Amino acid sequence: EIVLTQSPGTLSLSPGERATLSCRASQSVSSSYLAWYQQKPGQAPRLLIYGVSSRATGIPDRFSGSGSGTDFTLTISRLEPEDFAVYYCQQYGTSPRTFGQGTKVEIK
Amino acid sequence: QVQLVQSGAEVKKPGASVKVSCKASGYTFTNYYMHWVRQAPGQGLEWMGIINPSGSSTSYAQKFQGRVTMTTDTSTRTVYMELSSLRSEDTAVYYCAKSRGEFSLYRAFDYWGQGTLVTVSS
């Protein structure tokens, strides 16, 4: 099983600032099958990024993904008020599909 | 538009079983695999398994092998997840989630149901 470790656990930032979230895998992620999801309280997760760097339908371009192998990053270039949420990375190239433990982006 | 509508909240006693439904609309139901993911209160996301709605083939996470059964009814465009021998640790919100690509096992999850809270308590 591929274990995904996200850091930091919590990121305290102000609107307009840049957010950089990290996801490290215990082994190489197959065929770049790495995704990022956003989850707000009481809501289902929403797909932001798939294939390491491709934005899902309707996702604004302030969200970007990068990385390869075992190290991946989600960057939010300028935080909007609606971006404060929990973010999960996921690998979907091998079974079981696994998620990181999440990074909470909170308002400073 | 794609919609996944799940059944309502359930309260079960330890040892019982629960069956959660997920009704799909807005896309070709049989062309996209469906996953089940759960989230315990205040915790992260946990993948439970996948079903092919057209042929009903399944693959379950080892943790749930022997306790989970995923089925499909193509006539009503509904997938089901049944979890047996419930214990308090199974208290969670259960989500169905559609695979992003047609006929492909290995894709991200692009649409999610609204979630079904299952509470296991004596």
When scoring B3, B45, B99, B107 by the number of chain A Cβ atoms within 10 A, the one with the most, hence best to mutate, is B45
All residues at 6 or more sequence positions from A108 whose CB lies less than 8 Å from its CB, including other chains:
A12, A13, A14
How many angstroms separate the CA atoms of B32 and B40, rounded?
A: 26
> Least CA distance to B98: which residue of chain A?
A47
pLDDT in tens, B4-24: 999 999 999 999 999 999 999
The pLDDT value recorded for residue B56 is: 76
pLDDT in tens, A31-81: 889 999 999 999 999 999 999 999 999 999 999 999 999 999 999 999 999
How many angstroms separate the CA atoms of B87 and B38, rounded?
A: 14
Contact across the interface for A44 and B108, Cβ inside 8 Å: no
How many angstroms separate the CA atoms of A72 and A52, rounded?
A: 7
pLDDT band at B110 (very low <50, low <70, confident <90, very high): very high
pLDDT in tens, B57-71: 999 999 999 999 999
When scoring B51, B96, B106 by the number of chain A Cβ atoms within 10 A, the one with the most, hence best to mutate, is B106
